[in-house]
Amino acid sequence: MKRTIRPLHKRDLDALLSIERASFSLPWTREMMAAEFEKSYAFFTGLFQEGRLAGFCLSWVLFDEGHIADFAVHPDFRRQGAGGVLLDAVLEKMRQRGALTVWLEVRVSNHPARALYRSRGFIEAGQRKNYYTDTGEDALVMQLTLEKGRKNDIIQHAKEE
């Protein structure tokens, strides 16, 4: 199975939004997503499989902090390792841009995502009460420390497999 990672551009917005809507009960709007392409600190990364956009990540790097703002894999490609491949690529790109720490929020009930993040070394750092406005569900805040100047061991291990 051939997988390709590449930056996403505005021309990818329709495919990106299709995955967003299939993945979340409270999806980002077209306007919100389009605005992210204009931010100097924001970047989208896409994973393509079988010629289709299988997943994407919206990331921010400001100074030495990274934030995973949005991460989704199309339902057709879940449970096949696509999320791990995409996350590894994003973490490496964030490290290259100078991130020493990466943060994200994830629904408390999203056990598959939490397991993916833990598998890459993220730890639970806190909780945001009533974070998700559609259900009032709490978000777990997860954090990963990257080492400056070298690849994260987890990332390197995944690339060697």
Check 65, 105, 124, 137 and give the catalytic one: 105
**Residues in CB range of 56: below 8 A, 6 or more apart:** 8, 12, 16, 19, 44, 45, 46, 47, 70, 71, 72, 86
Count CB atoms within 10 A of the CB of residue 158. Answer: 19
Q: With bands split at pLDDT 50, 70 and 90, how would you rate the model's confidence at 148? A: low
- The CATH number assigned to the domain with range 3-160 reads 3.40.630.30
132 has catalytic annotation: no
What is the value of pTM for the model shown? 0.87
Which pLDDT does position 159 carry in this prediction?
A: 40
The one catalytic residue in 20, 36, 92, 117 is 117
pLDDT-based confidence at residue 158 (cuts at 50, 70, 90)? very low
Residue 117 bears catalytic tag: yes
46-55, 126-135, 142-151: the lowest-pLDDT one = 142-151
pLDDT in tens, 105-125: 999 999 999 999 999 999 999
